[in-house]
């Protein structure tokens, strides 16, 4: 289905507003066409007779009647214009409102792979600027097109009724004008498409520069970012100039053709007046109608460019809605019952791109209540493993099961509602701390929220804030320290009371003492829950029930801390390196049960 047809599919939801707008256009056009006829009557029936000795008093009375008619018509036109403008705006906003909602829903359901390949700036440009382009097209350009067509038909009919031959003299100009518009449209559409793409790229660079301003300043790369932005700005500027060049050639050409029409009127119409075949009033009215025709004629050029701009914007918007979703539910997807927490990887392989495997034949299992630590160098596949469990991506081969349910066979919401996640890149919303902690469980009571915060060792600093749990955070939680943001994120995951927990280096940015407190809280909370932990903290690693060591997407060792240390293999080397770079956590007298950090060779 074409882009325009898809946009039109949204019109029936607001068809009454659309019909009212069209009715007001038609009525307003018919009334406005009467004004040149009143001018003709004023010239032929009043002004010229008065100049020839007509009864002055009678002439003044007739002139007053004509003036009152003009005032009445003007008032009617004003009311109809108001109704058309209001209903047209309401209609266009409602259509765009529906499209915008559909785009947002589509974005919420897109696979992670979609966001891996799409710049945020491009998406923002599509949802804002491109959407506004459609609104203006429906609210102004499409309405004005219909008004122009109606005006063209009514005016041409009136002109034929005044003087058929003079109108026929003007007709050959029409195909020429439309030929110019057609050529203009063919040339301008690809330029507008390129313009939108360049604008999206410009927005992406701007978005990155703003969100990463601290990194830019820290590394003194302002000049590099300025050059990058200038390069994108130059490309956009060049595309805009190319568009302006096309418009500068074709639009004046249309004006020239219309000027030829004026010359024709005075050449042929003037001779008709001299011969007494046409009145001066008719000639003035005819010229007024030509001026009225100039507006729709000129607008056709605007409409064609606007139409192609809108179709380019529509293409980009529907491209988002039509993007293939790599993660979809089966029609008969099962709703998971409450989980026990068994997770199995069976010969799992995965690649983000073909022929570039990230994981190769991964096989291991996690029993209910076990904590599995994933260890390995950057790029070894640790984060990919935990992204496959909630089915952010689908395995290339093999399968992952939770409680013997293949994750590809179950309802996504029922799966993800039972998995608590704290990612390495902590994201908090610009809402209150209370709402952030309760994000996965909006109906949670304040007592539950506070308990989760205490368990994550976040309660103390939250209570010290001016508004406590009702304190509103800045964008992405920037008003908190990194460690504080991570503790809020941990509280958010704990509040869900999920059977499966995923902690992606969630204690990497807290100090040793705070990490110790969090670990003590997690020790009790992780009981009877399956947890997957990515960490470089030796305290967390040695307390895990199972350690899986990865190299280049393959498992090279797995087992407990003691068994792997005894092998003196890859894990032994990694652990010794980590232990030497991390000071041991001091034991608390109140925690006699805490495991001894001891010698790394134990």
pLDDT in tens, 42-78: 787 777 776 666 666 776 777 788 888 888 888 998 9
Among 473, 504, 513, which Cα is nearest to 388's?
Answer: 504
Which of the pair, 179 or 367, is modelled with greater confidence?
A: 367
Residues 474, 482: Cα–Cα separation, whole Å: 13
Q: Which pLDDT score, from 0 to 100, does residue 548 have?
A: 92
Q: Which pLDDT score, from 0 to 100, does residue 52 have?
A: 67
| Mean pLDDT, range 415-428, rounded to an integer | 81
Least-confidence region, from 100-104, 308-312, 413-417, 491-495: 308-312
Contact 146, 29 (CB under 8 A): no
Model confidence at 335, pLDDT cuts 50, 70, 90, reads very high
Would you say residue 584 has pLDDT above 60?
Answer: no
Q: Is residue 259 part of a domain?
A: yes
DSSP 444-509: --HHHHHHHHHHTT-HHHHHTSTTGGGPBP-GGGTTS-HHHHHHHHHHHHHHTT-SEEEEESTTTT
Number of domains composing the chain: 1
Q: Which pLDDT score, from 0 to 100, does residue 131 have?
A: 83
Q: Which pLDDT score, from 0 to 100, does residue 408 have?
A: 92
Would you say residue 194 has pLDDT above 50?
Answer: yes
Contact 284, 40 (CB under 8 A): yes
Q: Is residue 21 part of a domain?
A: yes
| Mean pLDDT, range 400-419, rounded to an integer | 91
Which of the pair, 5 or 334, is modelled with greater confidence?
A: 334
CATH number, residue 176:
1.20.1560.10
Q: Which pLDDT score, from 0 to 100, does residue 402 have?
A: 93
Residue count of the chain: 602
Q: Which pLDDT score, from 0 to 100, does residue 301 have?
A: 59
Please give the share of the chain, as a percent, with pLDDT higher than 90: 10
**What's the domain range around 33?**
3-322
Which of the pair, 513 or 551, is modelled with greater confidence?
A: 551
Q: Is 461 exposed, middle or buried (0-12, 13-18, 19+ CB in 10 A)?
A: middle
Which of the pair, 183 or 82, is modelled with greater confidence?
A: 82
Structural element, H or E, at residue 351: strand 343-353
Q: Which pLDDT score, from 0 to 100, does residue 130 have?
A: 82
DSSP 85-148: HHHHHHHHHHHHHHHHHHHHHHHHHS-HHHHHHS-HHHHHHIIIIIHHHHHHIIIIIHHHHHHH
Q: Is residue 214 part of a domain?
A: yes
Would you say residue 3 has pLDDT above 70?
Answer: yes
For 282, half-sphere exposure in the C-beta direction (CA atoms, 13 angstrom radius) is: 21
| Mean pLDDT, range 168-181, rounded to an integer | 78
Would you say residue 589 has pLDDT above 60?
Answer: no
Least-confidence region, from 157-161, 198-202, 271-275, 473-477: 473-477
Q: Which pLDDT score, from 0 to 100, does residue 389 have?
A: 92
Q: Is residue 405 part of a domain?
A: no
Which of the pair, 361 or 578, is modelled with greater confidence?
A: 361
Residues 131, 395: Cα–Cα separation, whole Å: 35
What digits encode the pLDDT tens for the residues 226-281?
888 898 899 889 988 988 888 888 878 877 877 887 788 778 888 888 887 888 88
Backbone angles phi, psi at 362, to 5 degrees: -80, 125
485 token code pair: 């943001």
Model confidence at 365, pLDDT cuts 50, 70, 90, reads very high
Q: Is residue 335 part of a domain?
A: no
Q: Which pLDDT score, from 0 to 100, does residue 510 have?
A: 57
Q: Is residue 551 part of a domain?
A: no
Q: Is residue 422 part of a domain?
A: no
Q: Is residue 568 part of a domain?
A: no
Q: Which pLDDT score, from 0 to 100, does residue 595 have?
A: 42
Per-range mean pLDDT, top range of 17-26, 163-172, 364-373: 364-373
What digits encode the pLDDT tens for the residues 435-445?
988 888 888 89
| Mean pLDDT, range 585-589, rounded to an integer | 49
């Amino acid at each position: 289905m074409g882009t325009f047809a898809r946009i039109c599919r949204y019109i029936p939801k607001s068809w009454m507003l659309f019909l009212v707008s069209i009715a007001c256009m038609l009525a307003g056009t018919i009334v406005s066409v009467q004004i040149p006829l009143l001018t003709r009557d004023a010239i032929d029936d009043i002004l010229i007779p008065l100049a020839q000795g007509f009864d002055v008093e009678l002439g003044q009375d007739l002139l007053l009647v004509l003036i009152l008619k003009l005032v009445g018509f003007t008032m009617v036109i004003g009311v109809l214009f108001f109704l058309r403008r209001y209903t047209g705006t309401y209609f266009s906003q409602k259509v765009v409102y529906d499209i915008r909602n559909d785009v947002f829903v589509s974005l919420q359901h897109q696979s992670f792979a979609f966001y891996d390949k799409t710049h945020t700036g491009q998406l923002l440009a599509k949802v804002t600027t491109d959407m506004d382009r459609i609104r203006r097209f429906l609210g102004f350009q499409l309405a004005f097109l219909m008004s122009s067509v109606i005006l063209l038909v009514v005016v041409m009919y009136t002109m034929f009724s005044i003087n058929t031959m003079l109108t026929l003299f003007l007709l050959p100009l029409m195909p020429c004008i439309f030929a110019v518009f057609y050529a203009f449209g063919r040339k301008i559409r690809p330029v507008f498409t390129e313009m939108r793409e360049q604008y999206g790229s410009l927005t992406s660079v701007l978005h990155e520069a703003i969100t990463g301003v601290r990194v830019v300043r820290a590394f003194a790369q302002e000049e590099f970012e300025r050059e990058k932005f200038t390069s994108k700005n130059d490309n956009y500027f060049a595309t805009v100039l190319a568009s302006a060049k096309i418009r500068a050639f074709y639009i004046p050409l249309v004006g020239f053709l219309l000027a030829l029409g004026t010359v024709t009127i005075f050449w042929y119409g003037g001779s008709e007046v001299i011969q007494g075949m046409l009145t001066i009033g008719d000639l003035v009215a005819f010229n007024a109608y030509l001026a009225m025709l100039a507006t729709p004629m000129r607008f056709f050029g605007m409409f064609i460019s606007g139409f192609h701009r809108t179709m380019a914007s529509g293409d980009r918007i529907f491209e988002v809605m039509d993007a293939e979703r790599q993660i979809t539910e089966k029609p008969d997807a099962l709703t998971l019952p409450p989980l026990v927490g068994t997770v199995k990887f069976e010969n799992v392989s995965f690649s983000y791109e073909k022929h570039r495997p990230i994981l190769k034949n991964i096989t291991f299992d996690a029993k209910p209540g076990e904590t599995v630590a994933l260890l390995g160098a950057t790029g070894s596949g640790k984060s990919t493993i935990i992204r496959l469990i909630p089915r952010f991506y689908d395995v290339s081969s093999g399968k992952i099961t939770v409680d013997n349910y293949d994750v590809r066979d179950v309802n996504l919401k029922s799966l993800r509602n039972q998995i608590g996640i704290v990612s390495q890149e902590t994201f908090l919303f610009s809402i209150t701390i209370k709402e952030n902690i309760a994000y996965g469980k909006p109906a949670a009571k304040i007592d539950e929220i506070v308990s989760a915060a205490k368990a994550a060792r976040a309660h103390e600093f939250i209570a010290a804030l001016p508004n406590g749990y009702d304190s509103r955070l800045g964008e992405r939680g920037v008003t908190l320290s990194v460690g504080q943001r991570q503790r809020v994120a941990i509280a958010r995951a704990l509040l869900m009371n999920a059977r499966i927990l995923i902690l992606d280096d969630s204690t990497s940015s807290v100090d040793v003492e705070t990490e110790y407190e969090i670990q003590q809280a997690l020790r009790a909370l992780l009981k009877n829950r399956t947890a997957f932990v990515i960490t470089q903290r030796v305290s967390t690693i040695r307390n895990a029930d199972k350690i899986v060591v990865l190299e280049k997407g393959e498992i090279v060792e797995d087992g407990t801390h003691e068994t792997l240390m005894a092998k003196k293999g890859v894990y032994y080397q990694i652990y010794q390196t980590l232990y030497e770079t991390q000071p041991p956590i001091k034991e608390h007298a109140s925690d006699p049960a805490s495991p001894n950090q001891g010698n790394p060779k134990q």
